[in-house]
Amino acid sequence: GLYNVYNALATAAAAVALGLPDAAIEAALTGTDAAFGRQEAFAIDDRRVELFLGKNPAGLNQVLSTLLLDPARRVALIALNDGIADGRDISWVWDADFEVAAGRFEHVVVSGTRAEEMALRLKYAEWDESPLAVEPDLPRALDQAIAATPAGETLTVIPTYTAMLTLRDLLARRAGKAPFWQEPARATA
């Protein structure tokens, strides 16, 4: 997304200001991967599944803006939890601009401990109710969303923090990736 371009430019500008060599700056920028759950992608059942963490209105607005750049995205899973790490007060979802994505997706699964409230927020944002499925159970919601995504296409997953941890773990297991807390093996000299 554009916000990651801003982050990369700020990092490069700071590196230039510190006098670091251009080759080192280029190597650092090209060698950077997405952090777990933040625009991370998984290959599941001939589909690409992408996680876009949405934990506050500003970040969620950036995610929605990024998603609007790709008209091929047709299926989404949006998961809203109210765990301690998410914040018990979910009223912040009313400050996110879901209206910009009304009519954008052909199928949407809404999940999490506050799935019904998320569905209500989307209704008020004038999202069509017919493609909305409410499934509070995250594993079942993920299965539904993957099944609704045609082979060869991308499923967009927008979870809050604790929902992302659960979904990321489910996706990592299905894709054969390591859990986020497990360090990759390092080569020895």
Q: Report how far Cα 107 is from the mean position of its chain's Cα atoms.
A: 16
C-alpha to C-alpha distance for 142 and 167, rounded to whole angstroms: 8
* Statement: residue 3 has pLDDT above 70: no
Q: Of residues 86, 89, 137, 143, which has the active-site annotation?
A: 89
Residues 6+ apart with CB under 8 A from 8: 29, 32
DSSP 94: G
Q: Quote the pLDDT of residue 167.
A: 95
Q: Quote the pLDDT of residue 176.
A: 83
Tokens at residue 137, please? 């159970």
* Prediction pTM value: 0.81
The bridge status of strand 47-52 relative to strand 38-44 is antiparallel
Q: Residue 183 — very low, low, confident or very high, per pLDDT cuts 50/70/90? A: very low
* Statement: residue 47 has pLDDT above 60: yes
The SS3 call for residue 86 is coil
Q: What's the chain's average pLDDT?
A: 87
Q: Residue 10 — very low, low, confident or very high, per pLDDT cuts 50/70/90? A: confident
* Statement: residue 186 has pLDDT above 90: no
C-alpha to C-alpha distance for 8 and 84, rounded to whole angstroms: 31
82 assigned to active site: no
Q: Quote the pLDDT of residue 35.
A: 59
